[in-house]
Amino acid sequence: MKPVGAIYVASNRCRFTVWAPEKKSITLHIVQPAERTIPMQAEAFGYFSVDVEDVQPGTRYFFRPDGQPDTPDPTSNYQPEGVHGPSAVVDHGAYAWQDANWRGLPFKDLVLYELHVGTFTEEGTFDAIIPRLDDLLDVGINAIELMPVAQFPGNRNWGYDGVYPYAVQNSYGGPEGLKRLVDACHQRGMAVFLDVVYNHLGPEGNYFSRFGPYFTSQYCTPWGDALNFDGDWSDGVREFFAGNARYWFDTYHVDGLRFDAIHTVFDSGAVPFWELVNREVRQLEQQLGRTLHMTAESDLNSPRVIRPAEVGGFGFSAQWLDDFHHSLYVLLDEKGRERYGDFGRMEQLTKAYTDGFVHSGEYVKFRKRRYGASSAGIPGDRFIAFNQNHDQVGNRVKGERLSVLVDFDRLKVAAAALMVSPYVPLLFMGEEYGEDAPFYYFVSHSEEELIKAVQEGRKEEFKAFQWDVEPPDPQAEETFRGSRLHWNKRTQGKYRLLLEWNKTLIQLRRTHPALQSVNKTTVRAYPLAQAGFVLVRQQEDGLRQLICLFNLSDESLVYHMPPVNERWHKTLDSTEEKWQPHPTSTKQAVTESVQGGETVSLPPFSVLLYSGLTA
């Protein structure tokens, strides 16, 4: 795989390489510190290269394809002046890494935490995250997942409008800032995941077509023409993005990547792009001697995503499990069925626990067709489950988090439902203490026509949901500022209580033997009518069991404990006084231990966990 971009060698020497297969000539235009123009030499397979002396780190440059205007490097490692400005040479060897002994963490042991760099702190930088890492560790979070940090227009964006996949956002702190953050995480025993986007490139600052056929009109995505992964000259596009995955692991020492909407990457070739990129990363894993995780967002409900390439799969380590969120959310918030009309039955939630995909070949009204395939039997650590993420919150017109949509008892139930699942859990920033500030969609474009298109597009998108308010202006700075976390809340009142609840759940997940198994054949779940459900988690050898009783109704429920044990001991009880923001003596006391075969009464919207030994 050919290195592209500005590769700083040493001693102020740099090799510049760009892929432009249908161009006759490329000129390198160095603009700072001293202006120079240098013709580049054509090479095989559409590449142009030139070795240049007297080039220091920080040197700013453009390319001129076939005499066109100055254009940033598609493989730029840094855009200090934004998406329209010159690219900058980066000496990646200059950073003194302190993580030589870091070998990563097993995927099944992770508690992921998705965060947006710009709104996680007031400063909105990589460096500002570092002082908060110990707070996350204290809760039990051991992996952060950064929303995309590839260079986007302006300084306010979710990151999915990025246009330079190799360049780290300048307003976040650039390449050095990201390295410091990753290093700080590894020194604390935390993993770092990065969200990357290979299904489209943002419109503003997108000059890729000046160089080559990066796009194809053969397929269409929600964002326009698809990237060219299987047409004429697609080898260069495939190498560009496969090399990008290797780049984040090798150059920035990240532990995992999350690939956005892989179902909108189209490739009919004999070796699909996702198989190619996973194969490249597995080879790199052997070279680096540490575990590299590849996770996907997929709308296919297809086990192929997480099956090995040897048996016809794409080879991802794990994928996001949207069906878990949908199944649980609609049972917690009655208005949820307005968004997820194909969900709402308790048996769908229990299927999410035992199988994974809820829609596995049934007719789905939303899609107007049969949809999905079964994932029964696939280990739990091949899925990432969540109650919230950037999409579930940010794509609501008011940007409401779950903490705004449901009451405190339901929040506790939701947290417990996630943490006792056989899946790798993911929290959205602030979820651990019930942050109630919104998380909106925001941008900071500079082109008036594009700004208007985004504003109108958001309004049109929300029409189908018949919202009674106007969506906030994505371009307005106050929309961005209103999405910031309020860190002071986590030490106060109900927020502190929910923080402790999540901390207790994560600790239980790590210490209870029955919650260590990712073998879904040891998981049993069944409804209690349409009012609640029972989840049974069992230790791999069958010795220890954890019975999780959930009441998702406004009425008390009665459950008969299995007779297989002489005694079941209460492990966790959401109704205890210490978990109430406003304790009251009218709360029903729950027995600390019960005999096998005896009944347990579950108060409304509660969760009770009982441990026992099998006979």
> Is 123 among the catalytic positions?
no
* Residue 395 counted as an annotated binding residue: yes
**Residue 344: CA count within 13 A, CB half-sphere:** 11
**Could you give the 3-state DSSP secondary structure of residue 608?**
strand
Q: Which of 145, 161, 297, 333 is catalytic?
A: 297
Between CA 532 and CA 518 the distance in angstroms is: 23
Between CA 165 and CA 198 the distance in angstroms is: 8
Q: Residue with structure tokens 């260079």?
A: 151
* Residue 161 counted as an annotated binding residue: no
Query: Cα dist. 304→107, 261, 299, 325 in Å?
Result: 19, 15, 12, 21
- Two structure tokens written together for 375: 């994932």
Which residues are 215's β-sheet partners? 227
* Residue 99 counted as an annotated binding residue: no
Going by C-alpha positions, the residue among 196, 191, 189, 162 that lies closest to residue 253 is 191
- Two structure tokens written together for 488: 């002071």
* Residue 258 counted as an annotated binding residue: yes
* Residue 260 counted as an annotated binding residue: yes
* Residue 279 counted as an annotated binding residue: no
Residue 195 DSSP code? E
Name the amino acid, one letter, at 516: Q
Between CA 387 and CA 426 the distance in angstroms is: 8
Between CA 48 and CA 369 the distance in angstroms is: 48
Contacts of residue 192, defined as CB under 8 A and 6 or more positions apart, other chains included, come to 143, 144, 145, 146, 181, 182, 185, 186, 253, 254, 255, 256
Between CA 82 and CA 431 the distance in angstroms is: 32
Query: Cα dist. 5→17, 65, 156, 319 in Å?
Result: 5, 14, 26, 31
**Please, what is the Cα angle at 147 between 144 and 149, to 5 degrees?**
110
* Residue 92 counted as an annotated binding residue: no
CB 352: neighbour CB atoms within 10 A? 26
- Two structure tokens written together for 171: 């307003």
Q: Which of 145, 195, 255, 260 is catalytic?
A: 260
> Is 195 among the catalytic positions?
no
* Residue 325 counted as an annotated binding residue: yes
Between CA 185 and CA 81 the distance in angstroms is: 28
Output phi, psi for 310, to 5 deg.
-65, -20
* Residue 390 counted as an annotated binding residue: yes
* Residue 235 counted as an annotated binding residue: no
**Residue 271: CA count within 13 A, CB half-sphere:** 12
Please say whether the beta carbons of 27 and 39 come within 8 A: yes
* Residue 356 counted as an annotated binding residue: no
Between CA 265 and CA 191 the distance in angstroms is: 27
Please say whether the beta carbons of 196 and 260 come within 8 A: yes
* Residue 261 counted as an annotated binding residue: yes
* Residue 16 counted as an annotated binding residue: no
Contacts of residue 584, defined as CB under 8 A and 6 or more positions apart, other chains included, come to none
Longest dimension (CA), the chain: 85
CB 310: neighbour CB atoms within 10 A? 7
Between CA 344 and CA 506 the distance in angstroms is: 27
Between CA 481 and CA 475 the distance in angstroms is: 11
Catalytic residues: 260, 297
Question: Would you list which residues are annotated within the binding site for substrate?
Answer: 258-263, 322-326, 390-395
Question: Would you list which residues are annotated within the binding site?
Answer: 258-263, 322-326, 390-395
